[in-house]
Amino acid sequence: MNAAPVPREVHAELKGVTRIYPAVPGAGAKLPVHALGPIDLDLVRGEFFAVVGPSGCGKSTFLEVLAGLQKPTAGSVSFEGKPVGGHVPEGIGVVFQEDASFPWLTVWHNVAFGLRRNGVAAAEVRRRVEDAIAFMGLKDFAGAYPSQLSGGMRQRVCIARTLVLQPRLILLDEPFGALDAQTRLLMGDEVLRLWRRTGATVLLITHALDEAAMLADRIGAMSARPGRFIEIIATGWPRDRDSTIVGEAAFGEITGRLWERLRSESLKALGHSGVSAMAAE
């Protein structure tokens, strides 16, 4: 199962990226926390990359550093050849784990939000918003408020809100973590559809091995804290795929291999929470 030969163009690059949270004696953090790295990673333009790892391993920190929401303690991040740091560059879109839809705006205005604040012409706003709303299957809910929608629907609103800005790199931070398993499979299909249509590079953070195995071209397995990539697995799926690949033999092989690598890390992470004070030298 070889993927079609695509010209490899580095879209985002992380070099020796490390994140250490300093000690805050007053706020319960007596020791500095080494959350991440060092990490070296090249994201290839147009690929679907998934990051899996045990809880608390620094996956979200990784995403925030890549997005420019946090500065790395050491190392450098670049996006399309330009260094990232301090602010989120134009061209990167982020969908968060928490519901970030604004309850005081209708679905339509939520989706239009980012465009309006960035001085896009009204006709263009309309066109793009209607397109994104239709694409995410929110057409019948354009006038509804988020409080009237289910969690999955609200997450779609957030995806649509990111989509209208036409990001070239889309970062998804466990966007389906709060949804049930079946809805997650279906949302996975939608993400694949979105990835194919936009041609954007997608980075998905998830704790679900099957989700990573089903969606990604490459999967980075992250160690327990401090998060590092212990293995990067290429899945070799064709670009035109959907959730039905969960029935294929290769799918089982990939999840099996991921679990083999991550089992000991997950155990470490479990122990970490209880005895971290003693373990920290």
Partner 1 sequence: MTATRRAADTLILLVGLVVLWEILHRIAGETAMPAPLSTFAYLVHNLATPRFIANLTTTGLELGYALLLAYGIGLAVGVWLGAHRLSGAVGEPILVSLYSLPKITLYPVVLLIFGLGISGKVAFGALHGVLPVALLTTGAIRAIPPVYLRAARTLQLSPWQTITTVLLPAALPEVFTGLRIGFTVTLLGVLLGEMFASKEGLGAMIINALQLAQGEEMMTVAIVLFAFAALANGLLLFVEHRLRRI
**Could you tell me which of 184, 227, 178, 224 has the C-alpha nearest to residue 64?**
227
| Residue 124 found at the interface with partner 1 (CB under 8 A) | no
| From 12-20, 96-104, 121-129, 201-209, span contacting partner 1 (CB under 8 A) | 96-104
Under 8 Å between Cβ of 93 and 170: yes
Q: What residues from 134 to 193 belong to the interface with partner 1 (CB under 8 A)? A: 145, 147, 158, 161-162, 165
Please state the closest distance from residue 145 (CB atom) to partner 1, in A. Answer: 5
How many DSSP H helices and E strands does the chain contain?
Answer: 7, 10
Longest dimension (CA), the chain: 61
C-beta of 15: minimal distance to partner 1 in Å?
A: 23
Is 231 within 8 Å of 261 (Cβ atoms)? yes
- Tell me if 114 contacts partner 1 by CB under 8 A: yes
Of 43 and 209, which has the nearer Cβ to partner 1?
43
Of residues 200-219, which lie at the interface with partner 1 (CB under 8 A)? none
Per CB under 8 A, 80 contacts partner 1: no
CA-to-CA dists, residue 235 to 54, 134, 195, 204, 220, angstroms: 20, 31, 16, 15, 11
Q: Which uninterrupted H or E stretch holds 162?
A: helix 151-163
Contact positions vs partner 1 (CB under 8 A): 64, 67, 69, 87-88, 90, 92-94, 96, 98-100, 102-105, 113-114, 117-118, 145, 147, 158, 161-162, 165
